Structure 1
Amino acid sequence: MEKKKKIGIAIGVGVLIVGLFGINIWKKAASENVTAEVTNIIEETVSEKVMTPGTLKLANEQTVYFAPENGEISEVLVEEGEDVKKGTPLLRYENKQLELEKKQNELQLQSSQLQLNNLRDQHKELDEKLEKDSKNEMLQSEHDQVWLQQQQTNLEIEQLQLQKQSIEQQIAELEVKSELDGKVVSVNDVAGASSNQLEPQPLIQIGTLEQLMVEGIISEYDTLKVKQGQSVVLSSDVLPGESWKGKVSFVGYLPEEANSLGGETGVQYRIEVNVEDKNILLKPGFQMVMEILTEERKTKTLPLSAVKQEGDTSYVFTVVDGKTEKKEVSVGLVSNESIEITDGLSEEDEVLLDPSDDVSAGMDVTVK
């Protein structure tokens, strides 16, 4: 009986071992079989964009600051909200020193003119005497001296005339005029007292409210891609979901300043974008985001999830005769959902849509 019992136990253990072995084989076979969706490369339009923050501003504006060298403000001639034309007087300075210089110049001119008239009379009189007595050396010497004084007085008068023009120009500049057609956006009556501040405050601001622009900066790398005339989508956190159209109107040729960006020295360039939409609800000073379309073209793409990365190498898994095959591909522009395939695939290739990390070359594939 004991012998039969031992034989039965041995048979049972053997069956268990065979069963476990079979389960492992089944699991391995199951793990090497992939059930997945496949896709093909398609032709679609892809785009490359540069995003940068900016500040909404008036496209055409004039800012008048207090100029202490002009004297004291005598009168502000416009009010906030007033429409003005180019050449409209905005404010007037009073400069007593200039008025004094003008009066002194006028007196000097009168004095020099009287002196010149007197010298001319003397010159004429000496000419008449020399006609009667041409050999009189004393008369000739006196004549030459008067002539020289006359020329010197002429020069003095010319200098005084130039001085008069300069003074008149300075007096004319005491009346500041509008440089454009627009609306008076702000008037700061106390800005004239801020000349001792590090940053003077605007005294008068004028702008054309119908035309807005967004001003920002881009990196030296982005200046190679951003060009005048490119389309821009503008947005703001203040109005989520809203967007407006714009167009790049200016890209700086010279750098604005060198800053430390993330521990590295970066050079930045000014960029301006004209707002094309007229119904924008934001006001100058609001912060905006500029999404600049730098490149757009039709090309062959795959869904972004189909392409894997290994170091600097991009690859996909294709299905060939029911098995996976790893293929290296060359890629280009990347969007939110797709990636450009520039080389490595044909339109007939079936590509695993979203291969897991467990997928490897040579595995059986069941296509959904």
Structure 2
Amino acid sequence: MSRYDSRSGDPTSYGDRRGDSGFGGSMGFSGSVRSSLSRNNYEGAESPRKLDLDGLTPFEKNFYVESSSVTAMSDREVDEYRQRREITIEGRDIPKPVTSFRDVGFPDYVMLEITRAGFVEPTAIQAQGWPMALKGRDLIGIAETGSGKTLAYLLPAIVHVNAQPILAPGDGPIVLVLAPTRELAVQIQNEATKFGASSKIKNTCIYGGVPKGPQVRDLQKGVEIVIATPGRLMDMLESHHTNLRRVTYLVLDEADRMLDMGFEPQIRKLVSQIRPDRQTLYWSATLPKEVEQLARQFLYNPYKVIIGSPDLKANHAIRQHVDIVSEHQKYNKLVKLLEDIMDGSRILIFMDTKKGCDQITRQLRMDGWPALSIHGDKSQAERDWSSQSLKLARVL
């Protein structure tokens, strides 16, 4: 029984689409979107026809039905829209972007949450990314922070979950989202909770620095979505508190940061435990060679969508000023800058070392500035306190 069968209401366009989902009625692939496409530049990924799928239960993953208004868009209109919103695309059989939420064809329970959130129109990454993700294809999405990437993969994930059989006792998650830091994982969980509530989708956040007990209990009760940092999730798997056999929708958020932080070995181990015909989505602010190489091995014939410059290195909405000063001048320059710009707003100061972070924090507090620091050597309670204080504008 799928989750649609267990709830009242019309699943709209997300009913049984076994013939379009990437699996036929048997264990093999038959005329699927994925198996009929060329490999483009991702030769490292195995063709679905060559994968060992014996014993794996077929699952749904193509849920996209193009609306009549999107179908009516001419090629010129599509090109003009992508140019206006700085959307660059790569891949074969790329769907047209959607210009409004009603064009996506989201079920009522998703649209209800979008309405409650007060969103006016899709962001650029959502406009192009939603049709791509809903088609069940692998996807690389490159967009700056704050562009709406989280909902670009979470809303299709919710649709994906609701089309799968209900979790049985001992089942692991259906959707796995990997994130590099505890703070990002918690942010993602907040969105998953908000937008998954109407369809009663359960989630949990797995990260280090806190007691394992509550996380273990969540996993044992059964959750459809797990948001995790790689290290703690590996610990949970090795302790047999969960498994990844049911994962059919895998997300790597901020993949570039995960590689920078040395998580590649854990990522490889985790991916090796997930069924090979999963849908995989990579999301990042940049696409360095290391991320590209990993994508070549884990993704099959993916779409690629880039918002802004293909050489994106930083958020272009941020105005940057560079002052070159000697080391002993830095602190005095910082204090003068704070005196000039402090108007009650929140200010972030980045340091290159944890030790430097603590030193500058102590000095600022001695000079009367209400500063707090946050870095990886602090306890989770301290990090949470600093983050909450910044959110409430109690500190710099």
TM-score category (smaller protein): under 0.3
TM-score by length of 1: 0.19
User: Which has more helix, going by share of residues?
Assistant: 2
Q: Which has the higher contact order (CA 8 A, sep 6+)?
A: 1
User: Which has more strand, going by share of residues?
Assistant: 1
TM-score by length of 2: 0.18
